[in-house]
Amino acid sequence: MKRLVQILYGLLAGWLVLAGVGWPVSADTSEQKLAWFRDAKFGLFLHWGPASLTGKELSWSRMGARPGDIVALQEVPVEVYDNLYKDFNPVKFNAAEWVRIAQDAGMKYLVIITKHHDGFSMFHTKHSEYGIANTPFGRDIVKELADACHRAGLRFGVYYSQRDWYHPEYLKGNNANYAEFLHNQVRELLSNYGKVDIVWFDSFGRSDLVKDWKVYELLDMIHKLQPAALVNNRLAILGDYNKGPRDLWGDYDTPEERIGSFQHGRAWESCMTLVGRQWSYRPGGRMYTREETIRHLVNTATGDGNLLLNVGPTPAGEIEPRQVERLREVGQWLTRYGESIYSTRGGPFRNGKWGGSTYRGKTIYLHVIDWGASRLDLPPLKAKITKWASLTGGKATLVQTASGIRIIMPVEGRDPVDTILRLDLDGPAMSEIPAGVPLAVPASNP
Ligand code: FHN
């Protein structure tokens, strides 16, 4: 009966999302578990491994027939790829330095690759020889990062790929043996590295085999070993996120390389590369500008989501100086304007090309990215604006009437990245969108 209710709930929720109504708050999504995540808004994703020695894409550059291949990326012969670890010696790796870089960027959590599709374990494991312990470096990367995060008060997440193109039993052999291997490694990660705040799965390759991998037992193990850990929506099958049984959807959604659409009732996090649309180290790849990177963060926050921004460290164990500088610039912006991002929720106005809004208590922050012709027109609020100010300067005028809000900001007063206006209300901003459906913004705006 419970499963039927869950399926019906899932169908209803899916319809609501498709209808653009938004996601109803699911009774079984633990909002208190998610509270820190919703407040944090911004995390660091780290895609790293011996593949960084080639500058090609982690796992995907390894040649070999695989289901759903992106053949174009395959450039490294398997026998070369699978022996890179013998030369992997990132002597400049300093976990405390990476944690400092993340915190200087204003990031509140970190997710590290522990094993990607290439099957290489970046942690000391009893269940595979193909891992960091058998490199010239030898040290347990995951342990050093976990310890540094715990010391610095940065939330710690582990990425673990259920797909494993190295393991002899994965898809080709006895999947029950692969399931045991997978469960054993996840148990190690959740037992040996202290508190784990996020388990970031990255999908099984084929839905027809999910049952072989005992996904429900895996979920039970996680809840027993790390009861407060969040699990993303990639526990089960590739591409079919949020279509299988509701209890496999995890705690939040994970739009990738794009800004997720406005969604209020169910948490979400856009994961995005900073350089070259490649997850692992890509020397010379194009890096997002300061403006683009800040806008990625603003556009996720105004949609009520998080941004997990990815860097690919070098084979020497450093984060490229140019990437460190970009992250530092975002951190400086957050030092000045973080009140409009951290511990806010997205809305009450629906975000779009014009920008968007965030709110906390009786305060709304407008993030205006495109003023269009000359002004911003917003729909009416129930609450009265008691005072307002521009956090980014400029001399604007604001008029609130029963038919809406009109804001005029002269060109010279507009911030080239994000003009932030703070509106203080005589009532809670949340009461403007009780069902979590954002207020539509007139088409007269961009
Ligand atoms: O194939 C992986 C990819 O390499 C990367 O790890 C991303 C990060 O979300 N996940 C998979 C693609 O969806």
- CA–CA distance, 355 with 379 (Å, rounded to integer): 14
- CA–CA distance, 135 with 84 (Å, rounded to integer): 9
Q: Report the 10 Å Cβ neighbour count for 45.
A: 25
CA 92 to ligand 1 center in whole angstroms: 26
Residue 282 maps to which CATH number? 3.20.20.80
Burial group, residue 151, by CB count within 10 angstroms (0-12, 13-18, 19+): exposed
The answer to whether residue 265 sits within a structural domain is yes
pLDDT at 239: 61
Per residue in 218-268, pLDDT (tens digit) is 999 999 999 999 999 998 766 656 777 888 889 999 999 999 999 998 999
Give yes or no: residues 64 and 32 share one domain. Answer: yes
- The pick from 256, 268, 274 for probing ligand 1's pocket by mutation, whose C-beta has the most ligand atoms within 8 angstroms, reads 256
| 23 secondary structure, DSSP code | P
Per residue in 129-175, pLDDT (tens digit) is 999 999 999 999 999 999 999 999 999 999 999 999 999 998 877 88
The answer to whether residue 19 sits within a structural domain is no
**Contact status, residue 204 vs residue 213, Cβ threshold 8 Å:** yes
ω into residue 348 within 30 of 0, thus cis?
yes
Asked if pLDDT for residue 22 goes beyond 50, the answer is no
pLDDT at 244: 74
Model confidence, pTM: 0.92
pLDDT band at 125 (very low <50, low <70, confident <90, very high): very high
CA 2 to ligand 1 center in whole angstroms: 33
Ligand 1 atom index nearest CA of 254: 9
pLDDT at 16: 43
Quote the number of domains for the chain: 2
Asked if pLDDT for residue 107 goes beyond 60, the answer is yes
Least confident range from 71-75, 106-110, 160-164: namely 71-75
Q: Is 407 in the pocket of ligand 1 (CB under 6 A)?
A: no
Q: Is 279 in the pocket of ligand 1 (CB under 6 A)?
A: yes
Asked if pLDDT for residue 359 goes beyond 50, the answer is yes
The answer to whether residue 251 sits within a structural domain is yes
**Cα 358–292–73 angle (5° rounding)?**
120
Give yes or no: residues 241 and 380 share one domain. Answer: no
Asked if pLDDT for residue 335 goes beyond 70, the answer is yes
Give the structural domain span for 361. Answer: 345-432
Q: Is 320 in the pocket of ligand 1 (CB under 6 A)?
A: no
pLDDT at 238: 64
> Regarding beta strands 109-115 and 363-368, do their DSSP bridges make them parallel or antiparallel, or are they unpaired?
unpaired
Give yes or no: residues 143 and 186 share one domain. Answer: yes
